[in-house]
Structure 1
Amino acid sequence: MSAPAFTIREARAGDVEQIHQRILDLAAYEREPDAATGTAEDIRAALFGDDPAVFCHVAEVEPSEGADSGPRIAGIALWFLTYSTWEARHGIWLEDLFVVPENRGTGMGLALLRTLAGICRERGYRRLEWCVLDWNEPSIRFYESVGARPQSDWTTYRLTGEALASFAPAADPSAPRAR
């Protein structure tokens, strides 16, 4: 059986439910199914709200002959802009790259990653960056096969939950809100 044909394109509002499902699938793959608490409506607001700062490209597979449903989102690349003060240029942070297991090895992940690299080249961005879990050997091998290298001299820190809430200053309702 040959690999299904797929199309890489920018996400559309009608894709949100399937994008949300791919995020849930990724959380399960990364062994943290309960950590993905965002809803489809949260994703819709982030991608298609008044001032979106998050973007998504999808890999769409056409249904097989006789299938009852329409095209299926089999892969996602969800990303946002970063900024390097040293280079004085934007870059892309790839938050999530996920391809459903039955479509891995078809070139879908490669095509999604290449699409983002193309955006970097077209817009003059200098970096395409992401994190990968240390135990995720298949992804590490894939990323290294395209020339990506780990940035082992940096450690990612995160402030979240109660630690974030207790560290933040009390809200001043009269203060202008940062965007």
Structure 2
Amino acid sequence: MRIPQLPDGVRPARPDDVATVLRMVVDLARYERAEEEVVATEAGLHDALFGPGAVAFALVAESGGEPVGIAVAYRTFSTWVGRPGVHLEDLFVAPDARGTGRGEALLSALARITEANDWGRLEWDCLDWNAPSIGFYEALGAERVAGWISYRVTGSTLHDLATRVD
């Protein structure tokens, strides 16, 4: 993956950022009223971001040399576009740093990475009750994807589906 020049105050995450990234993931889950659903560990997150089979990447936003936000994303593929894309899994900016441009800088950095690699789209999900984030995304020109509903299977439901057909 090619990393172009990123906006000031945004850099690729480093292995020593893993604890900070996980802390902000938990902070985001708490904001989304789902803190108990976070079961990730530092070791697992390290492997996902920096291991030999890394499947995701992260960016860190800083203010005064201190981390104040993260974006965790992974590469996708669209058969309709015929090219890879980026899915933003988590975007979090600490409450005291909101309104300072760090969230916009993180999204701009992801857009730059998407374009630098000639990938077709940058997309993400947002909870339908999260009016501040919805307003922020739409002010940046993001469009809702009408007509789609997200689905997920995990835990025993995932196992049941995996063993349903022999």
TM-score when scaled to structure 1? 0.85
Do structure 1's residue 130 and structure 2's residue 132 form an aligned pair?
Answer: no
2-side partners of 1:94 and 1:131: how far apart?
8
1:117 aligns with 2:76: no
Hey, what's the Cα distance between the residues in 2 that align with 1:113 and 1:33?
A: 24
Fraction of identical pairs, as percent = 45
Per chain length, whose mean CA-contact separation is higher, i.e. which structure has more relative contact order (CA < 8 Å, sep 6+)?
2
Separation in structure 2 between the aligned mates of residue 72 and residue 47 of structure 1, nearest angstrom: 20
Name the amino acid aligned to 1:38.
A
2:27 corresponds to 1:33: no
Q: What does residue range 44-83 of structure 1 map to in structure 2 within 5 Å?
A: 44-62=46-64, 71-83=65-77
Tell which structure's C-alpha radius of gyration is larger: 1
For the residue of structure 1 that corresponds to 2:9, the secondary structure is strand
Aligned to 1:88, which of 73, 82, 86?
A: 82
Note if 1:152 corresponds to 2:146.
yes
In 1, Cα distance between the equivalents of 2:61 and 2:28?
Answer: 15
Residue segments in structure 1 that go unaligned for 5+ positions in a row: 1-5, 63-70, 171-179
Letter in 1 for 2:27: D
Q: Which residue of 2 aligns with 1:174?
A: none
Q: How many residues align?
A: 157
Give the aligned partner of residue 11 of structure 1: 13
Q: For 1:61 and 1:34, how far apart are their aligned partners in 2?
A: 29
Distance 2:34 2:94 in 1: 16
Structure 1 contact 19–73 (Cα < 8 Å) conserved: no
- What CA distance in whole angstroms lies between the structure 2 residues aligned with 1:124 and 1:45? 26
Q: Point out where structure 2 has 5 or more consecutive residues left out of the alignment.
A: 1-7
Runs of 4+ with deviation above 3 angstroms: none
1:61 Cα deviation after fit: 2.5
Matched to 1:26, the amino acid is: L
Structure 1 residue 89, shift from structure 2 partner: 0.3
- Provide the C-alpha distance between the structure 2 equivalents of 1:24 and 1:91, rounded to a whole number of angstroms: 26
Within 2, Cα distance between the matches of 1:159 and 1:138? Answer: 28
Q: Aligned-pair RMSD on alpha carbons?
A: 1.2
